[in-house]
Amino acid sequence: MIIGVPKEIKNNENRVALTPAGVVSFVNAGHSVLIETNAGIGSGFTDEAYEKAGAQIINSAEEVWKKSDMIMKVKEPLASEYQYFRQGLILFTYLHLAAEPALAQALKDSGVIAIAYETVSVNKTLPLLTPMSEVAGRMAAQIGAAFLQKNNRGQGILLAGVPGVSRGKVTIIGGGIVGTNAAKMAIGLGADVTIIDLSADRLRQLDDIFGNQIKTLMSNPYNIAEAVAEADLLIGAVLIPGAKAPKLVTEEMVRTMKPGSVIVDVAIDQGGIVETIDHVTTHDNPTFEKHGVIHYSVANMPGAVPRTSTIALTNVTVPYALQIANKGVYKAIAENPALKLGVNVANGEITYEAVAKDLGYQYVTVEKALEKELTSL
């Protein structure tokens, strides 16, 4: 199979979908890898390193897309890339389609087989989302701490406090991977941390992990309103896989926050959980203010720490991509239920139920959408 890796074009997206080590794995298995020139440079991987690993360096994105059987990316394709979609092309990347209706339509119209990293699932865990959630969760606390500084238009508080002065309060809504990693960092910074989740079992696990270093609260509008009002830093970390994030923090709640408080809505890639966030921001211009509160809504946070993120991401994506290359996409999907759950669009159908429901499409199972291909295996 020919595997193509275009350079990422999203604002400040410096990650790349394959490292030279990944190239070696494909080449050793008998595949060809095309890397767009300078695709790895933001993560510290030169064209020479890729060539040494056995890849071919290609000068244009168009050529990479057109010559490849499978495109591996990090972020969802942007509108300028939709022209490269074609029937049967395999696209393996983050997609977040519930928040990207135009992309969903373009994938549907073109017949691409689109496998989303974020819905590949094993025993209710999301192995291809987890490392980036670890990165973004850890970043959320340090970014929030920085925007609380007066020179960044924040309240001017230090999360740790000092002897004789109260600690800053951090409220985290969603106690999964992002929430847990944000909590680790916030605790390390000395903050007073509250975690809210809908799952009583998850709250028990968090209590076992952190003991009295955190407070836990059940997710309901009453508890959320109280915890938001007292938060200096609010972190959004809720996920319902594939679906648009629920708006748990209303505009009324944001109005009760102190001027100069900070919201970091990590869940923005699925639409975000905060009503006052009406747009995605970029690393170039990451915040806006509403009701005196600083809002941060960057959808590719790990892109700012690309060396760490690229290695962490490719550690988990390459084994799945190798299965697709070695077996062919249909056999790989048929034999690996985790990968099958990653299929969001195939043969012009939306094959992930939550995406179909949120975007108003008819949901078609993977088995049905690929009936011909799977029965002829």
* Residues of this chain that bind ligand CC(=O)C(=O)O (CB under 6 A): 75, 94, 118, 129, 132, 269, 300, 302
The number of C-alpha atoms within 13 Å of 44 and in the hemisphere containing its C-beta is: 8
Catalytic site residue from 96, 192, 232, 358: 96
Binds 324: which of ligand NAI, ligand CC(=O)C(=O)O, none (CB < 5-8 Å by kind): none
Interface residue with ligand NAI among 107, 191, 235, 248 (CB under 6 A) is 248
Q: How far is the CB of 52 from ligand CC(=O)C(=O)O (least distance, A)?
A: 28
Is 202 near ligand NAI (CB under 6 A)? yes
**Cα–Cα dist 235/172, whole Å:** 5
Answer yes or no: are the C-beta atoms of 109 and 86 closer than 8 Å: no
- List alpha helices for 231-336, DSSP H: 251-255, 306-327, 329-335
Q: Is 47 a catalytic residue?
A: no
The number of C-alpha atoms within 13 Å of 5 and in the hemisphere containing its C-beta is: 27
Binds 170: which of ligand NAI, ligand CC(=O)C(=O)O, none (CB < 5-8 Å by kind): none
CA distances from residue 253 to 107, 169, 221, 223, 250 in whole angstroms, order as listed: 37, 16, 10, 11, 5
Catalytic site residue from 232, 265, 269, 358: 269
**Cα–Cα dist 219/242, whole Å:** 20
Q: What residues from 286 to 305 belong to the interface with ligand NAI (CB under 6 A)? A: 299-302
Answer yes or no: are the C-beta atoms of 275 and 248 closer than 8 Å: no
Q: What SS3 state is found at 6?
A: coil
**Cα–Cα dist 245/318, whole Å:** 28
Closer residue to ligand CC(=O)C(=O)O in complex, CB, 73/108: 73
Q: How far is the CB of 268 from ligand NAI (least distance, A)?
A: 5
Q: How far is the CB of 271 from ligand CC(=O)C(=O)O (least distance, A)?
A: 12
Is 238 near ligand NAI (CB under 6 A)? yes
Is 98 near ligand NAI (CB under 6 A)? no
The answer on whether 315 is annotated among ligand-binding residues is: no
Q: How far is the CB of 239 from ligand NAI (least distance, A)?
A: 4
Closer residue to ligand NAI in complex, CB, 6/175: 175
Contact characters 163-182, ligand NAI, x per CB under 6 A = ----------xxxxxxx---
Nearest CA to 13 among 76, 106, 105? Answer: 76
Q: How far is the CB of 269 from ligand CC(=O)C(=O)O (least distance, A)?
A: 4
Helices 306-327 and 130-147, axial angle in degrees (round to 10): 160
Answer yes or no: are the C-beta atoms of 53 and 25 closer than 8 Å: no
Answer yes or no: are the C-beta atoms of 258 and 232 closer than 8 Å: yes
Is 95 near ligand NAI (CB under 6 A)? no
**DSSP secondary structure string, 142-198?**
HHHHHHTSGGGTS----TT-BTTBPPPEEEEE--SHHHHHHHHHHHHTT-EEEEEES
Instruction: Give just the sign of the alpha carbon dihedral 114, 118, 123, 124.
Output: negative
Q: Which stretch binds ligand NAI (CB under 6 A): 24-32, 57-65, 126-134, 365-373?
A: 126-134
Q: Is 279 a catalytic residue?
A: no
What tokens appear for 51 in the block? Answer: 């060539």
Closer residue to ligand CC(=O)C(=O)O in complex, CB, 141/293: 141
Q: What residues from 209 to 228 belong to the interface with ligand NAI (CB under 6 A)? A: 219
Q: Which chain residues interact with ligand NAI by CB under 6 A?
A: 118, 129, 132-133, 136, 173-179, 196-199, 202, 219, 237-240, 246, 248, 266-270, 299-302
Binding site as annotated, residues for substrate: 15, 75
Which residues are catalytic, by number? 96, 269
